Amino acid sequence: MSRLGWALGVAGATYLALAPLACGDVVARPIGAATDEEGGDVAASDSGAGLDGNGGKGDADGSDFCSGQGPIPLPGTDQCTGDLAHLFRFAACACDSLAVSGILATDSFDSTTDGGAGGSAASIAANGEVATNAQASVAGSVWAGGQGLSGGTPAVSISSPGGVTSTIALDIESGGDVDVSGTFLVGGAVYADGNVILDAGSLSVVGSVDVPAGDSASGVTAGGGVTHGPVQITPPCDCSSPMPIATFVAAHATANDDVLIGLTTSGLDDPPSTVTLPCGQYYVDGIQGGSVTIDVTGRVALFVDGDMKVDQGLTVALAPGAELDLFVAGNVELQTGVSLGDSNSPARVRLYVGGTTFTLSANAPEVGANIYAPNADVQFSSDFTMWGAIFAQSLQFSGNFSIHYDTSVLATPGCTPPGTSCTTCDDCSGSTPACKSGTCSACTSTADCCAPLECDPGTGRCQLPLE
């Protein structure tokens, strides 16, 4: 039994239940993954030239890219698309602030396993402030870096209305004060670079509460006691250098597979019928219209040199084994019904948005994708459920909001080789995920890993916390 499960039994508290997660028979094969010995990858059966890892054409039958062997290089970097997976370490991550009112629930699963179990891996974070006024069940940790806050503003401010016990399965990591109102149970520890202030209600912590010398945690119940000493919280979200999405898109204006399927650059501007994309890399000037339906039948990278704006419904459907990296240089505005990706396997869709606007209608039957919109302030103002992860400049949720985080997105293979120069661990991946003395190398302790990952010293890899 997990620490939080034990504590809940003792305290008599109750989780905010989520509906059971469905996990179908589809096994996600992230970009860069090798095919099996018999070449059983569905995507490999599609035609299309594809681009090889050097940015040139692959084999005539597309065996490089379409067999899962050819990475997509990112211009101006030493990385490829697989290296972007580190952006989705959290179920929700904001460069500025993350604010929630109503009900918040996160959980995790692994779409590549039959059981789908994911443990306590669905954490939420912001480099500035995390503020909730919500019944909360977070199957992971709450992180706040405390960057850019005015004097006296807590880095973590959590309130649980209505007398309901809110739960955080693992830790609270705060780069400033922690302000609590309501009844909260924390299954791990609390690390605060400031005071832990209990305005009303109770805060029960299974582990310790760590605060600097001279700060306090009055009224808090902690199984590991209250300890005093230095507390340093690194900003959790990778926001120092947002990915230049428009640059990545522009590089494919002439290097693409459009001609192989007869796709024009305006082919997704109000298309009269369903557009089918077999395995390949494609470039269009925008995605817009009353309604747009795209069927992805293989391993696809789609580069959009403009906006994605659909008024009456966008449907992006994936065939078994298919996957999509969608780069949009401009804004995303999706109204009415939206069906994006696959809730059984959200790791197979990665959406990267370069613009400052990201609007997604609450009337979305299915959103199964990992969304990166580092320049956008994203708001969901009514009940909404998504499968995958979301990263934005700021996030504001109200209503009943839940995220089912697919941990398998972090298994997407990158191409950063050992010994690559680095500034932070965000620059590294694979078997050498730590940045030591300016070089990517294996981790030896959790301090080497980017939040919320922990080091497995036996393999030298950084991984999500185990329950």
In order along its 467 residues, the chain shows pLDDT tens digits of 444 443 444 343 333 333 333 322 222 333 333 333 333 333 333 333 333 333 333 333 334 677 666 678 888 887 888 889 889 999 999 999 999 999 999 999 999 987 655 678 999 999 999 999 999 999 999 999 999 998 889 999 999 988 899 999 999 999 999 999 999 999 999 999 999 999 999 999 999 999 999 999 999 999 999 999 999 999 999 999 899 999 999 999 999 999 999 999 999 999 999 999 999 999 999 999 989 999 999 999 999 999 999 988 899 999 998 999 999 999 999 887 788 999 999 999 999 999 999 988 766 557 899 999 999 999 887 788 899 999 999 999 988 899 999 999 998 878 888 888 999 998 888 888 999 999 999 999 999 999 999 999 999 999 998 76
The 10 Å Cβ neighbour count of residue 290 is 11
As a whole number of angstroms, the distance between CA 345 and CA 24 comes to: 8
Which amino acid makes up residue 80? C
C-alpha distance from residue 212 to each of 153, 184, 230 (Å): 17, 22, 5
Q: Of the candidates 200, 199, 149, which has an alpha carbon nearest to the alpha carbon of residue 175?
A: 149
As a whole number of angstroms, the distance between CA 3 and CA 206 comes to: 7
User: Which DSSP category does 269 fall into?
Assistant: B
Query: Torsion angle, CA of 462/465/466/467, rounded to 10 degrees?
Result: 180
Model pLDDT, residue 173: 98
Domain ranges of the chain: 416-467
As a whole number of angstroms, the distance between CA 185 and CA 250 comes to: 49
Task: Find out whether the peptide bond into 20 is cis, omega within 30 degrees of 0.
Answer: no
C-alpha distance from residue 76 to each of 133, 251, 322, 334 (Å): 42, 10, 28, 30
What ranges in 157-302 are assigned the alpha helix state H? Answer: 245-250, 258-261
Beta partners for residue 167, in sequence order: 137, 185
303: three-class secondary structure by DSSP: strand
Q: For tokens 């469905």, name the residue.
A: 22
Do 102 and 400 form a contact (C-beta atoms < 8 A)?
yes
Angle at the Cα of 269 (from 263 to 274), degrees rounded to 5?
Answer: 65
Order of strands, edge to edge, in the sheet holding 308-310? Answer: 287-289, 308-310, 332-334, 358-360
Tokens linked to 198: 């209990």
User: Which DSSP category does 348 fall into?
Assistant: G
Model pLDDT, residue 263: 97
As a whole number of angstroms, the distance between CA 129 and CA 178 comes to: 10
Q: For tokens 């029960």, name the residue.
A: 204
User: Which DSSP category does 465 fall into?
Assistant: P
Do 387 and 368 form a contact (C-beta atoms < 8 A)?
yes
